[in-house]
Chain A
């Protein structure tokens, strides 16, 4: 049962990202900050950390492809970055001890890597002319803070859910 609930759950976060940018105006906080929701990758990273083995990378690949086709229309950027970031976090979690604070921090590191990777690729294909200083001050930092808040909210229920999923797959 939980196994079949997983794809709709991730699809929900996939659509939530788009709804977030549609409804939250860019001037909601003072200043010229660009807030980018990374709910989907947050959930995929938590799935990598707490869920069954290899699920994170697999879902990263699948939803990276859908994300590129539906939202960005440049196939390849998130198709590579989602599974890559999930894999890096998977390796990191093997080295570090598994507690909730570490998991949240690793997810933030993953999102930072994703943002940096996407920035570099967009500079390479000439889709942006934002300088690195402006990028890090106006986009990276506010984005990380916002996604940190999101992860802190969802980490506990998702941890419970994914751990039960592992148990139900084992039995």
Chain B
């Protein structure tokens, strides 16, 4: 009965395509939490990954150290020349810091948008299919990590926590294309800061795109871009990068700035997950307040 088998195969194919569409739709539906079997599998593989990646990191690190040793002489020379400048800067920073705390005390202002506590984490895996750029780190909800927290390296912002499981979490890098990946950012300038959103990444140029900058402001090259802290989850002042180029956007109503990211998006080993310490008012409280006023 070859006809029957052909039909059977066709039915299997059709049913599996229906299941596939349902599953993809389910995973893209913007769910805030993974189901428990997924969390369990992720944590289990995370444990195996840690066991394998620790020794690998160690070996790769050893060869990296050997390479560093060769450059030590020239680096040392250059660093020494910058040391004097550093001492001056440090004393200045001390003064400014002291000033700042005193002024804050006078104003009775306790928390700032820029206050945060970093949590150390190690990268144990990365998505090999390079369509979505995801990292797996070895800290999870048991260490106080929740979704949407920003993730930084020493050189700047790299992404945010996409999903957190009890022992591991996934970090979505800024370079991955996702329409929901949007960060409120600020271009620092002498007079007045310029605000916009980091939305999207230009793969060919390797630059981030900062969109929705008003068309009447002038943005210059080499200005620093930081997170603005207006979005609610991200604290203020996390370094994102430097402006490379400014072009008018599609309809000429806004401008788009190309930003060179401060942090590298590959070869990441240690990251910090940032917990914003300034208190965020609950939405419900704000609504209640308004009612009282009325």
**A and B associate:** yes
B228 is an interface residue with CB less than 8 A from chain A: no
Query: Chain A residue with minimal CB distance to B163?
Result: A73
Q: Which residues of B contact A67 (CB under 8 A)?
A: 129
Q: Once bound together, how far apart are the Cα atoms of A76 and B16, in whole Å?
A: 10
B53 is an interface residue with CB less than 8 A from chain A: yes
* Docked-complex contact B41 and A66, CB < 8 angstroms: yes
Q: In the assembled complex, how far is the CB of residue B86 from the closest CB belonging to chain A, in whole angstroms?
A: 30
Q: In the assembled complex, how far is the CB of residue B271 from the closest CB belonging to chain A, in whole angstroms?
A: 12
A4 is an interface residue with CB less than 8 A from chain B: no
* Docked-complex contact B131 and A73, CB < 8 angstroms: no
A128 is an interface residue with CB less than 8 A from chain B: yes
Interface residues on A, range: 35 or more
A52 is an interface residue with CB less than 8 A from chain B: no
A10 is an interface residue with CB less than 8 A from chain B: no
* Docked-complex contact B130 and A18, CB < 8 angstroms: no
B24 is an interface residue with CB less than 8 A from chain A: yes
B156 is an interface residue with CB less than 8 A from chain A: no
Chain A stretch 46-72: residues in CB contact (< 8 A) with chain B: 66-67, 69-72
- Interface segment, A21-29, A96-104, A151-159, A161-169? A21-29
Do A73 and B132 contact each other (CB < 8 Å), given the known contacts A32-B204, A79-B23, A127-B177? Answer: yes
Q: Once bound together, how far apart are the Cα atoms of A12 and B48, in whole Å?
A: 10
Do A25 and B42 contact each other (CB < 8 Å), given the known contacts A37-B128, A127-B177? Answer: no
* Docked-complex contact A69 and B38, CB < 8 angstroms: yes
Q: Once bound together, how far apart are the Cα atoms of A80 and B177, in whole Å?
A: 23
A75 is an interface residue with CB less than 8 A from chain B: yes
* Docked-complex contact A70 and B128, CB < 8 angstroms: no
Q: Using a Cβ–Cβ cut-off of 8 Å, how many residues does chain B contribute to the interface with A? A: 42
Q: In the assembled complex, how far is the CB of residue B42 from the closest CB belonging to chain A, in whole angstroms?
A: 6
* Docked-complex contact B129 and A71, CB < 8 angstroms: yes
Chain A stretch 104-132: residues in CB contact (< 8 A) with chain B: 118, 121-122, 125-130
* Docked-complex contact A128 and B128, CB < 8 angstroms: no
Q: In the assembled complex, how far is the CB of residue B206 from the closest CB belonging to chain A, in whole angstroms?
A: 8
B210 is an interface residue with CB less than 8 A from chain A: no
Q: In the assembled complex, how far is the CB of residue A16 from the closest CB belonging to chain B, in whole angstroms?
A: 8
* Docked-complex contact A19 and B127, CB < 8 angstroms: no
* Docked-complex contact B131 and A70, CB < 8 angstroms: no
* Docked-complex contact B178 and A127, CB < 8 angstroms: yes
Tell which of A11, A20, A122 touches B48, judged by Cβ atoms closer than 8 Å.
A11
Q: Once bound together, how far apart are the Cα atoms of A79 and B130, in whole Å?
A: 17
* Docked-complex contact A15 and B266, CB < 8 angstroms: no
Q: In the assembled complex, how far is the CB of residue A110 from the closest CB belonging to chain B, in whole angstroms?
A: 15
Q: In the assembled complex, how far is the CB of residue A132 from the closest CB belonging to chain B, in whole angstroms?
A: 15
Query: Chain B residue with minimal CB distance to A16?
Result: B52
Q: In the assembled complex, how far is the CB of residue A89 from the closest CB belonging to chain B, in whole angstroms?
A: 16
Q: In the assembled complex, how far is the CB of residue B51 from the closest CB belonging to chain A, in whole angstroms?
A: 9
Tell which of A32, A36, A72, A79 touches B132, judged by Cβ atoms closer than 8 Å.
A72
B126 is an interface residue with CB less than 8 A from chain A: yes
A78 is an interface residue with CB less than 8 A from chain B: yes
Query: Chain A residue with minimal CB distance to B176?
Result: A127
Q: Which residues does B use to contact A, with CB under 8 Å?
A: 16-17, 19-21, 23-24, 26-28, 38, 41-42, 45, 48-49, 52-53, 56, 60, 123, 125-132, 134, 136, 162-163, 170, 177-179, 203-204, 266-268
21 example contacts (A-B, Cβ-Cβ < 8 A) are as follows A15-B125, A17-B128, A19-B52, A21-B127, A22-B126, A23-B267, A32-B204, A36-B129, A37-B128, A69-B38, A70-B125, A72-B127, A72-B134, A73-B132, A73-B134, A73-B163, A74-B28, A80-B17, A127-B131, A128-B177, A134-B204
Q: Which residues does A use to contact B, with CB under 8 Å?
A: 11-12, 15, 17-23, 25-26, 32, 34, 36-37, 66-67, 69-80, 118, 121-122, 125-130, 134, 139
Return the 9 tightest CB-CB contacts between A and B, nearest first: A17-B128, A76-B23, A76-B24, A18-B125, A71-B127, A76-B20, A22-B126, A122-B131, A75-B23
